[in-house]
Amino acid sequence: MSDDFLPVAQPDIGALEEQLVLEAVRSGWVSSIGHFVEEFERRLSELTGAAHVAAVSNGTVALHLALVARGIGPGDEVIVPDFTFVATAAAVVHAGATPVLVDVEPNTWCIDPELVEAAITPRTRAIIPVHLYGHPADMTAINEIAKRHRLFVLEDAAQAHGARWKGSLVGGLGDAASFSFYGNKLVTTGEGGAISTNDAELDQRIRFLRDHAMAPERRYFHPEVGFNYRLTNLQAALGCAQLRRFDETLLVKERLLACYQASLGPELLTLNPRHPDAVPVVWLVVGLLGERASTAELEDLGRRLRETHRIDTRPFFVPLHQLPPYSSATLHRRDASVATGLAERGLCLPSGSQLQPDDVARVARALEQELA
Ligand SMILES: *Cc1c(COP(=O)(O)O)cnc(C)c1O
């Protein structure tokens, strides 16, 4: 694809996806009952090591439902990293609770456990560590703090399907975890999400609330106000195909990162972080410039790469404290904001599994030219 436009993300949809979706369409089970939903949940249980998985409509409602099912709401504080996709904080607000922002670590880009400890108040009920850009958060330290303060740990694993911390899979490390299957994630169902947990009671409550809070023993009897947060069998069919070949996907993306590492010197960009206790997955290939740049300079670099070289890049997430709805939230950080420093140096590079070594070489040449 050497002269083509190189996108940052591109879903990998092949013959197996076509076959299973067609099978779902032909079966007539197009809504949320059907064997693909069951297979998808079972495969996710294997992918997380968690005993129970409930599929839901997207990653944002997965976070929302996990919080609500745990009884978190108005008057409660939930600790979230300052550096994440906005949905992590939005879900806390949807639940009626208050997000408290905590800065990230410079070596993992994930929530800083020491700062988490400092952010705990009598109102704190939960921590949502985010496994950012495929790199797991320090779950050992977070679980230890949570245990001492009796807090609910909800992993946001939307960007890290299959990653490991100290040998264990994300999704089974906290009290519960949420996943996203949006089109640019490592596994896609178009739109979709899931909640994994080892807590059977929590799983039951999630399933009950997901389906309009209908009493399991009496049809159309709804003792509470619930939600329709179900995933369809059609979407699950796509997800089953993705999971049946997920090992291969991870390998291809691992090779892609290795190819970038061989082509880009650290004087140009430092690529995806890796803590010694972590086995990250490659969701996106992300790089840090040697020096900080202004938002305008980063946007200008992106524009030149797109227009001159037909190469797509994306900036990093804007730290939550810089977004209007969260700018007055409490923020815990050290002297300087690590999240801000990362956002001022970060660039997401073309990361689709269809990319070839030629394409990576083209990106490397373009970066050399534009950063010279
Ligand atoms: C994508 C994402 C979400 C939200 O998932 P949707 O399926 O788009 O609702 C939540 N958290 C993080 C960290 C994400 O990257």
User: Which residue's CA is the closest to the ligand 1 atom numbered 14?
Assistant: 158
Ligand 1 pocket residue status of 188, Cβ below 6 Å: no
DSSP string, 25-36: HHHT--SS-SHH
Ligand 1 pocket residue status of 242, Cβ below 6 Å: no
Tell me how far the alpha carbon of residue 75 lies from the centroid of ligand 1, in angstroms.
Answer: 25
Query: 13-51 as b/e, with b when 16 or more CB fall inside 10 Å?
Result: eeeebeebbeebeeeebeebebebbebbbebbbebbebe
Ligand 1 pocket residue status of 130, Cβ below 6 Å: yes
- Out of 63, 64, 80, 85, mutate this one to test ligand 1's pocket (max ligand atoms within 8 Å of CB): namely 85
- Out of 86, 88, 187, mutate this one to test ligand 1's pocket (max ligand atoms within 8 Å of CB): namely 88
CB atoms within 10 A of CB 206: 25
Rounded CA gap, 74 and 307, in Å? 47
Task: For residue 238, give both structure tokens.
Answer: 């796509």
Ligand 1 pocket residue status of 233, Cβ below 6 Å: no
Rounded CA gap, 90 and 149, in Å? 24
Instruction: Enumerate the β-bridge partners of residue 111.
Output: 104
pLDDT tens string, the chain, 372 residues long: the values are: 457 999 999 999 999 999 999 999 999 999 999 999 999 999 999 999 999 999 999 999 999 999 999 999 999 999 999 999 999 999 999 999 999 999 999 999 999 999 999 999 999 999 999 999 999 999 999 999 999 999 999 999 999 999 999 999 999 999 999 999 999 999 999 999 999 999 999 999 999 999 999 999 999 999 999 999 999 999 999 999 999 999 999 999 999 999 999 999 888 899 999 999 999 999 999 999 988 888 889 999 999 999 999 999 999 999 999 999 999 999 999 999 999 999 999 999 999 999 999 999 999 999 999 987
Ligand 1 pocket residue status of 85, Cβ below 6 Å: yes
